[in-house]
Each structure stands twice: as structure tokens, then as C-alpha cells.
């Protein structure tokens, strides 16, 4: 005790801490995100973050991840920050490469459960898979006394191996390959630790998948993918409207929608051009979102949620999520976490909502989450 509290205290806090904390590696469809977090008296802080756009790369071939491309990209990102080699890491793969399904199975031994799940997944994927599962809340499940309702989250074996191998090749020791619902749950808990007894809703407005997760006691209660609502859909619509490649549309949005940039005239002219596209896209999102909210409201006894925490690309543009707030009559709050002093710039602050899941992965080094 004395050793821990007094003699080794300076070592633990300054020198040993970087060895103990993990790196969070979020492998999305459009970007790679690496984050390191630290906890200071129950307050989480992002101490290092790196982002790399991978839209134009052949990292993803349909749903398969390329080990060599991922290794190359990770290696370049790792070189941008010091002290990231030889560290433990937790990773997350894009939800678009994952399969999330609810399965009702007869109540039997765990081994038999897993065999049935594996057989069914292999039949669908037509290749080897790796899966994990958890039981649904009784109030939302269709299970009877003889049936268990399970939420099964799976990846193909090749994709899981690609992540493990790539991280290993760049000198990271990958310990966990997490699923998005749990990463979102932890991200919300990190940002708002005092909301444990409230119903929290996390909306991951990602490039390839938009998903919504309801949290009860900071654990996933119900997750649904909002079909056709991914941010890429919006970029496609913009691309058609402006006759520009998707990447250019993204860059245009990033520069033009920044609150402090451009003149009022330019903003109004652009808004006039973009408004119809935004309206069309928001119609889709609103429809799916409201449908899901109503389903959970009607089928569960969860206390009413007050707001929705938004993560991912959609959370970067107030011009997109603010109109949606009015439509669904709920506050949409972009996910955020304080930044370490050396990172605290407006450029980094604007990107923070993209790093929610990655930060939640990095937080897995803390025993509380394991």
C-alpha cells in the first residue's frame, strides 16, 4: 500500500501510465482513428488522437479487409505519434462489416447454443466466422420460457484475423476486437458518467452504417441499424446534386459548413443549393429514427430519454443534425470528451465526435471495463 501510494506514485502517474493504457483503433469504412485516453479523477480526457481518411484506398474490398493495406495505413498513423509502439490495443471494425442479429434458441447448454449459432452464421456467410453474443432484455425479446433470445454480433474470421495481424505487424498487441454497441455504451458513459440511471440513446451516424443503441445502466439494451441512413447516402446525394466526387463533397462540407468560415452571402447561396438535398436525406433519417424510437417506447418500460448523443460523421455538421432535432423534437448532442492541453485546438475539437468508439476502446485498459 505504502509502495503504491507513496514510493511508486510518481512512476505510476508519469512513467508507467503510458505503458499501461491501451490504444483504441477504430477501423471504419471511410477513416482510421487511433486514440489514447487518460482518466483524471473520474474525468476522461483524450491525450492523443490520429485520423486518416481511407475512402480512396483499397483497404476494403466489398466486405473484406486487406491486411497489407491496413498495416500500411496503421504504420503511417503510428509514426505520427510518439510512444505508440509495443502497446496493447483494442480495435473495432466498421459495423458494415459486422452482422448483428437476434436469434431465439432453445434453452440448452452454452456449448450447444454456440454450435447452433455458428452453424447458422457459417451457412449465411459461406465462410468461417467469429461471433459473440449477449442476452436481450426480457421485455424486448420474443422468448418464452423454453426459448432464449440472444443478440449475436459477428465478423468473418478473415476480417478478425486481418485486424489482429495488422496490429501485430505494426507493433501493437491487440487484446480485444469489440462490437459497436458496447463501444458506444462505454463512450456515452465516459462522456456523461453521471447518467447511469437514465435511459441514454447513442446514434452512431457513420459513413457506411447508421445505428442507434439504447442504453440501460450504461449497457446496450437495444441496437438497430437505420437502413439507408448512413452518411455516405447523403454524400452520394450531394455528389449527384453538385456533380462532384464524394471526397470533394466531404471536403466542401468540412470547409463550407464551418461556422466561422465564409461570408454570409456564400453561406446562404450554398444553403439554398444544399437545402433540398439535406431535406431529402433527413426525411429518410427521420423516418427510420422515429420508427425505432416509437418501437422501443411502446415495447419497453425504459424511462423516457431526454436527448440523443450523436457520434460519427453526421455529428460534425450542425446544419444537418440541427434540423433533425426540430423534426423529432429531441435534443441531438454531439459526443464530446475534453482534450489534453496540447491537443486543445478548434480543429481537434471539431473532430472529437468521430473518436467516440475509439476512445471507448482505449478505455478498455481500465479494469472497470474488463
Residues near another protein (CB under 8 A) are 90, 93, 130-132, 134, 153-155, 157, 160-161, 163-164, 168, 173-179, 182-183, 185-186, 219, 364, 368-370
Q: How far is the CB of 175 from another protein (least distance, A)?
A: 6
Run of H or E including 359: helix 356-362
Q: How crowded is residue 346: how many other Cβ atoms within 10 Å of its Cβ?
A: 10
Q: How far is the CB of 79 from another protein (least distance, A)?
A: 23
Residue among 93 and 354 whose Cβ is closer to another protein = 93
Residue among 182 and 205 whose Cβ is closer to another protein = 182
Strand ranges for the chain from DSSP E: 23-27, 31-40, 43-53, 60-61, 64-65, 87-93, 99-106, 129-135, 147-156, 172-178, 200-205, 210-216, 219-225, 307-311, 331-334
Phi then psi for residue 174, to 5 deg, are -75, 120
Q: CA–CA separation, 295 vs 16, rounded Å?
A: 48
Residue among 74 and 277 whose Cβ is closer to another protein = 74
Q: How far is the CB of 313 from another protein (least distance, A)?
A: 23
CA 252 to chain CA centroid, Å, is 24
Residue among 75 and 173 whose Cβ is closer to another protein = 173
Q: How far is the CB of 171 from another protein (least distance, A)?
A: 12
Q: How far is the CB of 247 from another protein (least distance, A)?
A: 30
Residue among 101 and 348 whose Cβ is closer to another protein = 101
Residue among 51 and 157 whose Cβ is closer to another protein = 157
Phi then psi for residue 81, to 5 deg, are -125, 145
Q: How far is the CB of 250 from another protein (least distance, A)?
A: 29
How buried is residue 150: exposed, middle or buried, by Cβ count under 10 Å (0-12/13-18/19+)? buried
Amino acid at each position: 500500500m505504502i509502495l503504491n501510494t507513496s514510493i511508486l506514485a510518481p512512476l505510476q502517474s508519469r512513467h508507467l501510465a503510458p505503458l499501461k493504457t491501451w490504444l483504441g483503433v477504430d477501423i471504419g469504412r471511410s477513416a482510421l482513428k487511433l486514440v489514447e485516453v487518460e482518466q483524471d479523477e473520474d474525468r476522461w480526457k483524450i491525450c492523443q488522437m490520429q485520423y486518416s481518411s481511407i475512402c480512396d484506398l483499397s483497404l476494403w474490398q466489398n466486405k473484406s479487409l486487406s491486411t497489407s493495406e491496413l498495416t500500411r495505413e496503421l504504420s503511417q498513423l503510428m509514426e505520427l505519434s510518439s510512444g505508440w509502439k509495443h502497446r496493447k490495443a483494442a480495435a473495432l471494425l466498421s459495423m458494415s462489416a459486422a452482422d448483428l442479429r437476434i436469434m431465439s434458441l432453445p434453452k440448452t447448454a452454452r456449448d450447444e447454443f454456440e454450435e447452433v449459432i455458428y452453424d447458422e452464421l457459417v451457412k449465411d456467410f459461406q465462410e468461417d466466422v467469429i461471433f459473440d453474443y449477449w442476452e436481450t432484455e426480457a421485455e424486448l425479446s420474443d422468448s418464452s420460457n423454453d426459448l432464449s433470445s440472444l443478440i449475436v454480433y459477428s465478423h468473418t474470421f478473415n476480417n478478425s484475423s486481418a485486424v489482429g495481424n495488422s496490429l501485430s505487424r505494426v507493433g501493437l498487441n491487440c487484446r480485444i476486437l469489440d462490437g459497436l454497441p458496447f463501444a458506444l455504451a462505454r463512450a456515452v458513459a465516459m462522456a456523461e458518467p453521471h447518467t447511469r440511471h437514465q435511459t441514454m440513446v447513442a446514434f452512431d451516424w457513420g459513413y457506411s452504417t447508421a445505428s442507434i443503441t439504447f442504453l440501460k445502466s450504461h449497457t446496450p439494451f437495444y441496437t438497430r441499424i437505420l437502413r439507408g441512413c448512413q452518411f455516405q447516402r447523403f454524400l452520394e446525394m450531394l455528389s449527384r446534386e453538385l456533380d462532384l466526387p464524394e471526397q470533394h463533397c466531404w471536403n466542401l462540407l468540412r470547409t463550407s459548413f464551418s461556422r466561422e468560415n465564409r461570408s454570409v452571402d456564400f453561406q446562404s447561396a450554398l444553403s439554398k443549393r444544399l437545402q433540398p438535398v439535406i431535406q431529402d436525406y433527413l426525411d429518410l433519417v427521420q423516418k427510420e429514427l422515429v420508427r425505432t424510437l416509437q418501437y422501443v417506447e411502446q415495447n419497453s418500460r425504459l424511462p423516457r430519454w431526454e436527448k440523443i448523443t450523436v457520434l460519427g460523421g453526421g455529428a460534425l455538421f450542425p446544419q444537418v443534425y440541427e434540423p433533425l432535432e426540430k423534426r423529432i423534437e429531441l435534443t441531438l448532442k454531439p459526443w464530446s470528451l475534453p482534450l489534453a492541453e496540447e491537443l486543445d485546438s478548434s480543429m481537434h475539437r471539431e473532430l472529437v465526435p468521430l473518436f467516440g468508439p475509439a476512445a471507448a476502446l482505449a478505455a478498455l485498459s481500465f479494469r472497470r471495463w474488463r
